[in-house]
């Protein structure tokens, strides 16, 4: 039979089991292996559906390779040692001539049977493991790089992409809104800078005075000239001309009655585009009286906020001084005319001893004018915020203005009667 023709191991009747090697096969009968680790491996793999016989066969195959490898390494070391021992006496007799050759021979022999050679079991196992690891890495890389359902990270990657895209869109939208806000703020800052620049330029021009051509002083004199002409008086702009005491205080001088005859009295007007202190105001008024030989002095300031502290507009002080506030750009004729009328009456009374002027009636007329002007100012302030009722407000203002003119007419009539009585 074929089995009897193959090389077999002799049977060992004293052993507990029988192991027969038939060419490339092993037949094991009634063999018991007492090894805890081996038994555990067979049981664990059986639980994972691996047949016990298959596990035992693989264990024998792997163990046989390891035994063969250990035997080969031991044999190589033995042969290497024997060669070195046998060749040593010969090398001594030849005086070391073959020493180099001996070492080369021994090394080449060891290399041929060393476990590092390409045909050794260890090398083959390394190559198998290396190929298996390379294949596994390539498969994993391929699996995790796909976009289909086989990639366990496909949903995660898609979610990350969506989140990043959403965050990017939100950031872009926020940047767009920020740019719009910045542009709006830039426009506001530019407009504010332009307004501030225009205001600074205006204030600089106003401070330069005559550089504007028609400064506050010039505008005040233009109104004074119109008022004086209507009354037969003469107004002179003398701001740059030295007066009787070689001073230049008093910008405008009104000569009462000088348009038709001799000058009966003088009024000096000093214009200020800034707010003087009370001592400076009195210094300017007294200086105008002296420099222009005036009988009455009026300090004209631009806007009410420039009225000196402790004083009021259209109030007589010391019998020969008055302060009046006018609009800087458009001096109100009616307000200046009220101050003009009182100053004119007071100046004439200092020269006309026989002038029977009813001082109380004159004062009442001027006071009525001042109160009417206060109402006029309030009405105009209300008008600025009540454009829808402009017509009715304008009628009220017109009525108030007529009252002022009527009061001034009364004052002029009283003064005319007094002058006529004095003439007779």
Computed over every residue of the chain, the mean pLDDT equals: 76
- Which of the given ranges, 99-113, 296-310, 374-388, has the highest pLDDT on average? 296-310
DSSP three-state, residue 296: strand
The total of other beta-carbon atoms located within 10 Å of residue 3's CB is 10
Residue 207 confidence (pLDDT): 55
More confident residue, 89 or 283: 283
Residue 83 confidence (pLDDT): 59
Closest listed residue to residue 298, CA positions, set 331, 257, 259: 331
CB 55 within 8 A of CB 46: yes
Q: Which two tokens stand for residue 418?
A: 């007094």
Angle between helices 52-93 and 121-145 (to 10 degrees): 130
Question: If you ran DSSP here, which 8-state letter would residue 276 be given?
Answer: -
**Mean pLDDT, residues 215-240 taken together:** 91
CB 334 within 8 A of CB 227: no
Q: In b/e form, how buried is each residue of 362-377, taking b as 16+ CB within 10 angstroms?
A: beebbebbbebbeebb
**Mean pLDDT, residues 371-399 taken together:** 69
Residue 77 confidence (pLDDT): 64
Q: Residue 29's pLDDT band (boundaries 50, 70, 90)?
A: confident
Percent of the chain with pLDDT over 90: 21
pLDDT at 348 > cutoff 70: yes
Q: Are strands 25-29 and 321-326 parallel, antiparallel or unpaired?
A: unpaired
First-to-last C-alpha distance (Å) of the chain: 185
Q: Measure Cα distances from 290 to 98, 206, 269, 347, 353 in Å.
A: 143, 28, 12, 14, 22
Q: Residue 279's pLDDT band (boundaries 50, 70, 90)?
A: very high
CB 365 within 8 A of CB 337: no
Residue 278 confidence (pLDDT): 93
**Spatial separation of the C-alpha atoms in residues 25 and 3, rounded to whole Å:** 11
Of 78-87, 138-147, 366-375, which range is least confident?
A: 78-87
The total of other beta-carbon atoms located within 10 Å of residue 145's CB is 10
**Spatial separation of the C-alpha atoms in residues 400 and 370, rounded to whole Å:** 11
pLDDT at 2 > cutoff 50: no
Q: Which positions ≥6 away from 58 have C-beta within 8 Å?
A: none
Q: Which positions ≥6 away from 424 have C-beta within 8 Å?
A: none
Residue 276 confidence (pLDDT): 92
């Amino acid at each position: 039979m074929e089995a009897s023709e193959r090389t077999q191991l002799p049977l060992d009747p004293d052993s507990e089991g029988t192991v027969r090697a038939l060419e490339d096969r092993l037949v094991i009968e009634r063999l018991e292996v007492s090894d805890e680790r081996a038994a555990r491996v067979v049981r664990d793999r059986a639980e994972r559906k691996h047949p016990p016989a298959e596990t035992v066969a693989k264990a024998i195959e792997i163990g046989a390779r390891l035994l063969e490898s250990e035997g080969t390494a031991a044999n190589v070391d033995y042969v290497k040692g024997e060669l070195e021992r046998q060749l040593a006496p010969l090398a001594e007799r030849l005086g070391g001539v073959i020493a180099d050759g001996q070492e080369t021979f021994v090394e080449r022999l060891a290399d041929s049977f060393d476990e590092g050679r390409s045909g050794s079991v260890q090398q083959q196992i390394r190559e198998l493991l290396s190929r298996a690891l390379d294949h596994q890495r390539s498969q994993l890389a391929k699996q995790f790089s796909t976009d289909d359902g086989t990639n366990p990270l496909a949903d995660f990657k898609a979610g990350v992409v969506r989140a990043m895209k959403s965050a990017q869109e939100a950031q872009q939208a926020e940047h767009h809104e920020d740019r719009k806000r910045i542009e709006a703020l830039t426009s506001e800052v530019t407009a504010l800078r332009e307004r501030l620049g225009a205001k600074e330029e205006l204030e600089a021009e106003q401070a330069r005075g005559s550089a504007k051509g028609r400064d506050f002083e010039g505008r005040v004199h233009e109104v004074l000239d119109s008022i004086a002409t209507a009354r037969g008086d003469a107004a002179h702009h003398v701001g740059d001309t030295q007066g009787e005491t070689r001073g230049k205080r008093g910008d405008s001088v009104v000569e009462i009655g000088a348009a038709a005859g001799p000058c009966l009295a003088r009024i000096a007007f000093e214009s200020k585009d800034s707010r003087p202190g009370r001592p400076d105001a009195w210094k300017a008024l007294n200086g105008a009286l002296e420099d222009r030989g005036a009988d009455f002095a009026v300090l004209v300031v631009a806007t009410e906020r420039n009225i000196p502290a402790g004083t009021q507009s259209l109030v007589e002080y010391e019998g020969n001084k008055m302060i009046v506030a006018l609009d800087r750009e458009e001096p109100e004729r009616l307000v200046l005319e009220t101050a003009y009328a009182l100053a004119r009456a007071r100046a004439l009374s200092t020269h006309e001893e026989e002038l029977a002027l009813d001082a109380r009636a004159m004062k009442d007329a001027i006071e009525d004018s001042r109160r009417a002007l206060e109402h006029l100012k309030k009405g105009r302030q209300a008008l600025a915020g009540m454009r829808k009722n402009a017509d009715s407000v304008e009628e009220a203002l017109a009525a108030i203005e007529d009252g002022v003119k009527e009061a001034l007419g009364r004052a002029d009539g009283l003064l005319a009667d007094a002058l006529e009585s004095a003439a007779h």
